């Protein structure tokens, strides 16, 4: 299975995550209570659901990071598994905008602090994600969550706003995954950001080949 790390160093990706975290924090500062309950671009989820998911994702990845730092294997990302994960998102989605933003800010920054403590000699520590990854890959997983779900908020950020380095880094690993597991799916000829949006299930135009649910 292809690793999500591609060619950027751990620290370079971590810097990119910190930049994405800061940009999202700035977007959430302007969010109103009314906007948080409006539908996001994710079916069945409000913007509050998306923000809460991102905060709980931070908590889950932070658990992995702490496990790496303490040499204690973490059996699963979310305590209680998918059911508990869904319940936590549902419970938190209806909070006021200020609390949603504060939760996102605290959880994201705490996770970044933990990731910065992981030294190179621990990079290859296995992590019990849904596909085989190591500690080196945790920042990549978070980077993708932040950039893709920022688009899902349906505010002032779309796929064409993704940084080129994010687009190329993600395509470099995920296109081979598609070809490996779903070779029958034709890859459309699109601008790179739109190609990635299609690949991760956020098509920017009609008439594109259907793609299986990502991650593959």
Per-residue pLDDT of 134-158, as tens digits, reads 999 999 999 999 999 999 999 989 9
Name the packing angle between helices 138-152 and 164-181 (round to 10°): 100
As a whole number, mean pLDDT of residues 180-208 equals 97
Largest CA distance in the chain: 49
Share of the chain above pLDDT 70, in %: 97
pTM beyond 0.85, yes or no: yes
Cα-to-chain-centroid distance, residue 15 = 15
> Is it the case that residue 39 has pLDDT exceeding 50?
yes
The confidence score (pLDDT) of residue 127 equals 95
Q: Which class would CATH give 10-157?
A: mainly alpha
Residue 49: exposed, middle, or buried by beta-carbon count in 10 A (0-12, 13-18, 19+)? buried
* 153-41-127 Cα angle (round to 5): 70
Residue spans of the domains in the chain: they are 10-157, 158-216
* Mean pLDDT of the chain, nearest integer: 94
Alpha carbon separation from 190 to 41, 63, 89, 184, 212 (Å, rounded) = 21, 38, 34, 18, 18
């Amino acid at each position: 299975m292809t690793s999500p790390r591609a060619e950027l160093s751990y620290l370079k990706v971590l810097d990119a995550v910190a930049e994405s975290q800061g940009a999202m924090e700035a977007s959430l500062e302007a969010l109103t209570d009314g906007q948080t309950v409006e539908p996001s671009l994710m079916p069945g989820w409000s913007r509050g659901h998306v923000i809460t998911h991102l905060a709980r994702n931070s908590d889950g990845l932070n658990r992995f990071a702490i496990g790496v730092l303490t040499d204690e294997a973490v059996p699963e990302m979310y305590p209680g598994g998918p059911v508990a994960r869904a319940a936590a998102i549902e419970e938190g989605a209806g909070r006021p905008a200020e609390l949603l933003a504060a939760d996102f800010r605290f959880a994201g920054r705490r996770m970044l602090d933990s990731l910065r403590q992981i030294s190179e000699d621990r990079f290859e520590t296995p992590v019990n994600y849904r596909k085989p990854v190591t500690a080196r890959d945790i920042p990549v997983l978070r980077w993708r969550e932040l950039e893709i779900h920022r688009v899902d908020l349906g505010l002032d950020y779309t796929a064409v706003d993704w940084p080129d380095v994010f687009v190329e880094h993600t395509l470099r690993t995920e296109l081979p995954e598609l070809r490996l597991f779903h070779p029958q799916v034709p890859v459309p000829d699109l601008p790179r950001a739109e190609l990635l949006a299609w690949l991760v299930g956020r098509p920017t135009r009609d008439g594109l080949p259907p793609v299986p649910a990502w991650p593959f």
